[in-house]
Structure 1
Amino acid sequence: MKLALLLSLLGVAAANYEPTWDSIDSRPLPEWFDEAKIGIFVHWGVFSVPGFGSEWFWKHWQDDLKQNKTSPYTKLMAENYRPGFAYHDFGTEFTAELFDPDKWAELFHNAGAKYVVLTSKHHDGFTLWPSKYSFGWNSKDIGSHRDLVGELADSVRQYTDMRFGLYHSLYEWFNPLWLQDKENNLTTQEFALGKILPEMKELVEAYKPEIVWSDGEWEAPDTYWNSTHFLAWLYNDSPVRETVLVNDRWGSDTHGKHGGFFNWADKFNPGVLLEHKWENAMSLDRNSWGYRRTIQVSEVYTVQELIKEIVETVSCGGNILINVGPTKEGTIIPIFQERLLQLGNWLKINGDAIYSSKPWTFQNETEQAGVWYTQREGYVYASVLQWPENDLLVLHRPQVGPNNQILILGAGDASIVKWHAIDDRIDVTLPRMSRVSAPWPWVLKLTDVTN
């Protein structure tokens, strides 16, 4: 009976992919994702209204109240809000009156991103679209009274060549159906079957995301969430079956094992080449994914630190998903805008080393700090993240013939650099930075390289 209900909910027909991990994992990864390399993550929701601590505001506040604990969360609420004020009261203040999806799309495009992933629903259960499975607790019914998912999807697709994806949390901290299933030791599936599965299908059919970025899986195995059944429908019968891809957060037992690309954990950057396609999801705010009113400049990645994260990730075969947390009004704060535009300016010069690149035989120099390699269309690129001592860059990995060149991307007349081979290394003399117009960090293009 349960299987029949599940198949009815998903509308599963004759399948090319069966609802088993062996079958699901056999699906090839759509090529566009590996070529894209860089995406923008957006954490936006009711948690943006208090803008305090992190997007986990509600959970931390409630946990502290239960423990009768004085904390920054309880102190903020006691001193600034009326007695009895509930988290749901923040929903009416999620107004998004300054949200301009065209400007967001333009900013993300100018940052050099090739895809966008918006949080359609976080762990508080509030949906940024008019979901019939979240009546009265969505952005159309209260607050902004707008379909925020739909508006951004339309702008991204109409004005840019970026792909559009959606984050969706399986988990909702205080949903009664989830709490009841949990109380029953997950022997019941009222929440998974009655709320989550039909909600995800509704989201995919309405907005056709090319990434379904799942989260909130850790308190139950994939069998509780019926993940393989949803993914079989997604790959066989959904409107995005040809181009969609997913991550690995489909159950407490699936990290780094099942799904399309692997996230492993937040801010995952192994520093070594991995066989399976992976993604580094990180945030410009070191301490939060959602907007914080108390953010300090020192807590935001510098553009050099951001480029370092990108270069290391791409050299090791990963994609990077760079997060911003907008305000409740729907604006992206200036320091985040600045970082993204700085990144975009760097990528305009050095994008050949990033987009559509592949890991090279070696990922980095082990004796010369801060040099990472990629390859593309027969060329090897060396991203130099740390200025070498005495302006002398020593490379041990590549072997360059005597008639070949080493160029600095975007350096104009100063693009050709002097080098000579000594034994098993290449000594590259970098020009004075004042002579080169290319933005730092520099990328060297090595022609006709062997290893």
Structure 2
Amino acid sequence: MQLLLLLGALLPAQARYDPTWESLDARAVPAWFDELKFGVFIHWGVFSVPSFGSEWFWWYWQKERRKPYVKFMEDHYPPGFRYEDFGPLFTAEFFDPNRWADILKASGAKYVVLTSKHHEGFTLWGSKYSWNWNAVDVGPKRDIVAELAASIRNRTDLRFGLYHSLFEWFNPLFLDDASNVFKTRTFPTSKSLPELYEIVTKYQPEILWSDGDGNAPDTYWNSTGFLAWLYNDSPVRDTVVTNDRWGAGSICKHGGYYTCSDRYNPGHLLPHKWENCMTIDKWSWGYRRNAQLSDYLTIEELVKQLVETVSCGGNLLMNIGPTHDGCIVAIFEERLRQMGAWLKVNGEAIYGTKPWRAQNDSSTPGVWYTFKPKEDVVYAIFLNWPVSGTLILGEPKTTLGRTEVKLIGYKEPLKWISLEEEGMIVAVPQLTLSQLPCQWGWTLQLTNVN
């Protein structure tokens, strides 16, 4: 016993965080998040039933009374139909969490974030704080969160995360607090905060993706108090990663990593860890039955998003929206598998990398750099195949007889010549696109450069 006490006294005490932004912001984002680089966002809920226009369907129909949404309801549903009546139609009969896990694994993603509750207030678990407006009581009659978490953890190496909306558009408790200019706090104390404690304790997500502050400050949500518990005493206190959406004014300023805005891709290096959360469907996070083929980003556009984001120190969180019956439609599955095929070849230039001293090349547009300091390797990812047979790189400083250049997926080293102060010219193999190791972006591995 004395030996145990002595060892305990010698071990460093775990850092404790106070419920202040000054203290909480001092917590480093756990290293695993920066290493993994790429995740998949899943927006799924009752909004997937009408699957028209946007996941903000309820708000646009009932609050803003936008004409296309009003007309859609008048044309297709009887008078008096309420949004709540969509709940039983959220059936999820084709939801197969094992299939979802296998598709996510094939995408090359290393983490996944599921919407546990969007602004409509419907929870994908049987929350005791959302009586009769959750996936166990209504619709699927299944605990979606538990099932997907189990499949992800049993079948893949992906980290499991949850999105949670702080506010709910039409919850009367929130509306009452808002009418009192948030001087009362009935909604967060009786609904939103208990849900957060519930999902963390029950499902132990390693990403907690907060959203939807309803224009209320973080003091209304008691965000600092919750985050102090999350970092100090929760079951995921050592590994959990959070974002920056914890109250009006906190985005891109407080919390864990920064999101700054939806589809945020600054194109330059930021001093703080950040994430580009974006959608394969250009216009919506939820599934849309009325989407056109041109509304979906191509795999070339998605690879470009990934490469630019990682080169500038960010992570990419790429969103899909399943159907109300639980299907990941073919175009989303294709894009996910295409990304996985690209990463299978080029993943060493993405996973575990750091930003280099130059993010992109001054001489050749469409060339982006990443770096592995321990291996002293720089990766030059070029998004366009040089039809001339050569590639001019203006950023690397080379040494004849020492610098080596390889095309990832191609066996032989490449020939290059120095342009002295201007950089280098690399001779790429004379291959057709069908002969290349991948189709949507190519990576040069440069060793011993400055």
TM-score range (shorter-chain normalised) is over 0.9
CA distance in 2, matches of 1:446, 1:173: 52
Task: Summarize the alignment of residues 388-427 of structure 1 with structure 2, pairs less than 5 Å apart.
Answer: 388=386, 390-403=388-401, 404-412=403-411, 415-424=412-421, 425-427=423-425
Identity of aligned residues (%): 56
Give the secondary structure class of the aligned counterpart of 2:432.
helix
Is 1:269 the counterpart of 2:275? The answer is no
Offset at 1:16?
A: 1.4
Match of 1:249 in 2: 245
The equivalences for 1:5-404 within 5 A come to: 16-65=16-65, 71-376=67-372, 377-388=375-386, 390-403=388-401, 404=403
Query: Is the Cα contact below 8 Å between 1:64 and 1:74 reproduced in 2?
Result: no
CA shift at 1:389, angstroms?
Answer: 6.1
- Cα distance in 1 for partners of 2:188, 2:428 equals 59
TM-score in terms of structure 1 length: 0.93
Q: In the aligned structure 2, how far is the partner of 1:19 from the partner of 1:154?
A: 32
Helix, strand or coil at the partner of 1:256: coil
Q: Distance in 1 between matches of 2:318 and 2:85?
A: 30
Aligned pair 1:431/2:444, yes or no? Answer: no
In structure 2, distance between residues paired with 1:315 and 1:242: 27
Does structure 2 retain, via aligned residues, the 8 Å contact 1:269–1:313? yes
Runs (4+) off by over 3 Å: none
Q: Give the deviation of 1:64 after TM superposition.
A: 4.2
Tell me, in whole angstroms, the C-alpha distance in 1 between the residues paired with 2:318 and 2:92: 22
CA distance in 2, matches of 1:194, 1:147: 22
Distance across 1 between alignment mates of 2:298 and 2:427: 27
Letter in 1 for 2:406: L
* Matched letter for residue 29 of structure 1: V
Query: Counterpart of 2:74 in 1: which secondary structure?
Result: helix
Aligned AA (1:130): G
d(CA) in 2 for partners of 1:183, 1:422: 67
SS at match of 2:275: strand
Provide the rounded CA distance (Å) in 2 between the counterparts of 1:48 and 1:315.
34
User: Separation in 2 of the partners of 1:34 and 1:416?
Assistant: 30
What do you get for the CA RMSD once the two structures are aligned? 1.3
Distance (Å, rounded) in 2 between the aligned partners of 1:296 and 1:432? 37
Structure 2 vs 1, CA of residues 406 and 218 (structure 1 numbering), >3 Å: closer, same or farther? farther
- Give the Cα–Cα distance (whole angstroms) in 2 for the partners of residues 351 and 105 of structure 1: 20
Q: Is the 8 A contact 1:400 1:447 kept in 2?
A: no
5+ unaligned residues in a row in structure 2: which ranges?
1-13
Aligned AA (1:101): P
Alpha-carbon distance in structure 1 between the residues aligned to 2:276 and 2:430 = 33
**For residues 144-185 of structure 1, what are the alpha-carbon distances to aligned partners after superposition, in whole Å with 9 as ceiling and x for unaligned?**
000000000000001111100000000100000000001001
Contact 2:382 2:442 (8 Å CA) reproduced: yes
Deviations 1:409-433 (A, max 9, x none): 0123xx4222100222201122233
In structure 1, what is the Cα distance between the partners aligned to 2:419 and 2:170? 65
TM-score by length of 2: 0.94
Where do 5+ consecutive residues of structure 1 fail to align?
A: 1-13
Displacement of 1:294 after TM fit? 1.1
Please tell me the residue identity of whatever aligns with 1:332: I
Task: For 1:63 and 1:188, locate their aligned partners in 2 and report how far apart those are by CA, in whole Å.
Answer: 23
Deviation at 1:253, TM superposition (A): 1.2
